[in-house]
């Protein structure tokens, strides 16, 4: 038993098995045999399918004597509707012994949903985090999932989270449970070369915010003590997550601008793939906070914005871009809760920068300098939002209590409104 005032003394750490390096994606069939798989569903999106990599991976799997089918209709920035389409396909063509996701976070998260709902009863919204959905936990184990990222950003290959837009509510939410974590992450940097510069920039800012938010998150020792059955994947900043976040930031300091400037720079691409993996291993256990909480309504309430490098058929604010747009103001707000940690993040990202003036401005300045350099829009205003939209955005942020609980400084409704107002125009 624990008393109401007792603080946490335990942190948890979980991660998938990892295979990293050029050529690693050629070995997936061998890995699947080790999991006892015979029928495998590969899940990807049309643009990734057009690169030829999913077909090549499927052929490699078939070469080991496994039956393989490809679903290539994942929606970039998945919605409840698009995920349901994948679930229906997987249920109608199953049973499957294993899943392989080839793509960015959209494909990996869609594969998590298909795996969840072919292994358990119920519907998608039953499992979406409360208060948006039912917050139901899966009762049965999931099948093996091999995640093969083709973008360097989301970290979904390492995490227990599946993110989606709930169209009827105009809000982004997710499903979070330990059983959603992929069994194996296969990180082959060759697959990331086809990323356009705009995608590299947006997804790179997602990596950066994963690392910076997990490093500045509320420490696990400041949470109330939990019973074993109450433990959640996001347990707060802790020594293992810190180690991965710091190394991710060191790599990003040079690799992100280099990869945006020259997508065929394999040294930068390999460093970005490592940075994304390290950040995923960090935030997948420590958690993220205010920038990610703000990103969900920004993406969900977009009106007319078409980012470079993404499909032009519909408006979207890519997840990594949405996260970054309020990060400078958010870290300015959280600075007082952990000054040394915020300053350390700034120095890891810009070790050669001179540091005059208010230390609370160091990290916001570093972020804005980098965002300008790699072509991120100048605040949420440049993505089509006005100051009159702030109140509705705040209401969407307040639905992300799982993320806000990890912030090192508690943010009131008024605090969130100020962060968003300060993010309409950044520089």
**Residues with Cβ < 8 Å from 412, sequence gap 6 or more?**
none
Residue 1, pLDDT above cutoff 50? no
Residue 342 predicted with pLDDT over 70? yes
Binned at pLDDT 50, 70 and 90, residue 3 comes out as low
- pLDDT digits 0-9 by tens, 147-193: 999 988 778 898 888 989 898 887 778 898 989 999 999 999 999 88
- How far apart CA 119 and CA 138 sit, in angstroms, is 9
Residue 300's pLDDT band, with cuts at 50, 70 and 90, is: confident
Which residue in the block uniquely carries the two structure tokens 């990734």?
48
What pLDDT score was predicted for residue 425? 98
Comparing 126 with 156, the larger pLDDT belongs to 126
Which residues are CB-neighbours of 111 under 8 A, at least 6 positions away? 43, 86, 99, 100, 101, 145, 147
For residue 146, report the phi and psi dihedrals to the nearest 5 degrees.
Answer: -100, 120
Band of pLDDT at residue 422, cut at 50, 70 and 90: very high
Q: How far apart are CA 410 and CA 162, in angstroms?
A: 25
pLDDT of amino acid 354: 85
Q: What is the pLDDT of residue 4?
A: 58
List, for residues 131-151, the tens digit of each pLDDT value. Answer: 889 999 999 999 999 999 998
Tell me: pLDDT of 395 over 50.
yes
Can you give the three-state secondary structure of 236-256, one letter per residue?
A: CECHHHHHHHHHHHHHHHHHH
Average pLDDT over residues 49-61: 96
Q: Which residue has tokens 């920038």? A: 291
Q: What is the pLDDT of residues 250-271, one digit of tens each?
A: 999 999 999 999 999 999 999 9
Domains of the chain and CATH, by start:
23-187 (3.40.50.1970), 197-422 (1.20.1090.10)
What separation in angstroms does the CA of 293 have from each of 158, 300, 403, 416?
A: 19, 12, 6, 10
The number of beta carbons lying within 10 Å of the beta carbon of residue 303 is: 11
Residue 195: predicted pLDDT: 86
Structure tokens at 160: 């227990």
CA 344 to chain centre: 22
Per the CB < 8 A criterion, the answer to whether 100 and 90 are in contact is: no
**3-state SS, residue 171:** strand
Higher confidence at residue 231 or residue 37?
Answer: 37
Cα separation, 335 vs 338, in Å, equals 6
* pTM across the whole model: 0.89
Taking the C-alpha atoms of residue 197 and residue 375, their distance in angstroms, rounded to an integer, is: 9
Question: What is the reported pLDDT for 90?
Answer: 97
pLDDT for residue 5 is more than 80: no
User: Across the strands, what pairs with 40?
Assistant: 68, 98
- Mean pLDDT over each residue of the chain, to the nearest integer: 94
> What is the structure's pLDDT at 16?
93
Residue that has been written with the tokens 């069994």 in this structure:
183
The pLDDT, as a whole number, for residue 2 is 52
Tell me the per-residue pLDDT of 61-117, one tens digit each, with 9 for 90 and over.
Answer: 999 999 999 999 999 889 999 999 999 999 999 899 999 999 988 999 999 999 999
Alpha-carbon gap, residue 76 to 318, rounded angstroms: 9
Phi, psi of 67 (to 5 degrees): -85, 130
């Amino acid at each position: 038993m624990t008393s109401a005032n007792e603080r946490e003394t335990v942190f948890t750490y979980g991660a998938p098995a990892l295979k990293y390096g050029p050529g690693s994606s050629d070995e997936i069939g061998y890995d699947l045999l080790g999991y006892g798989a015979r029928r495998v569903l590969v899940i990807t999106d049309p643009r990734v399918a057009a690169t030829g990599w999913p077909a090549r991976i499927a052929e490699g799997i078939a070469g080991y004597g496994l039956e393989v089918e490809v679903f290539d209709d994942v929606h970039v920035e998945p919605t409840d509707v698009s995920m349901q389409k994948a679930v229906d396909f997987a249920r109608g063509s199953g049973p499957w012994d294993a899943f392989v996701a080839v793509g960015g976070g959209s494909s990996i998260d869609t594969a998590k949903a298909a795996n969840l709902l072919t292994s358990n009863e119920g519907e998608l919204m039953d499992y979406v985090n409360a208060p948006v959905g039912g917050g139901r936990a899966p009762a049965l184990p999931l099948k093996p999932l091999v995640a093969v990222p083709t973008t360097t950003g989301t970290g979904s290959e390492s995490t227990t989270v599946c993110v989606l837009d709930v169209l009827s509510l105009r809000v982004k939410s997710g499903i979070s449970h330990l059983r959603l974590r992929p069994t194996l992450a296969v990180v082959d940097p060759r697959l990331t070369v086809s990323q356009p510069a705009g995608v590299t920039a947006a997804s790179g800012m997602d990596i950066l915010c994963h690392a910076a938010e997990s490093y500045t998150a509320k420490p696990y020792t400041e949470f109330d003590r939990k019973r074993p059955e109450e433990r959640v994947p996001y347990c707060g900043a802790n020594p293992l997550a810190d180690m991965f976040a710091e190394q991710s930031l060191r790599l990003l300091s040079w690799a992100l601008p280099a990869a945006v400037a020259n997508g065929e720079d394999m040294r930068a691409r390999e460093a970005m793939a490592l940075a994304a993996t390290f950040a995923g291993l960090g935030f997948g256990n420590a958690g993220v906070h205010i920038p990610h909480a703000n990103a969900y309504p920004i993406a969900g309430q977009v009106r007319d914005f078409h980012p470079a490098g993404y499909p032009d058929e519909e408006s979207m604010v890519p997840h990594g871009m949405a996260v970054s747009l309020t990060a400078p103001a958010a870290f300015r707000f959280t600075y007082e809760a952990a000054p040394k940690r915020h300053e350390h993040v700034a120095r890891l990202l810009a070790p050669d920068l001179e540091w005059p003036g208010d230390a609370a401005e160091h990290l916001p300045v570093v972020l804005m300098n980098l965002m300008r350099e790699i072509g991120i829009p100048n605040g949420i205003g440049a993505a089509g939002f006005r100051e009159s939209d702030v109140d509705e955005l705040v209401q969407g942020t307040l639905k992300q209590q799982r993320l806000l609980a990890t912030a090192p400084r508690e943010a009131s409704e008024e605090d969130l409104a100020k962060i968003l107002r300060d993010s309409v125009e950044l520089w």
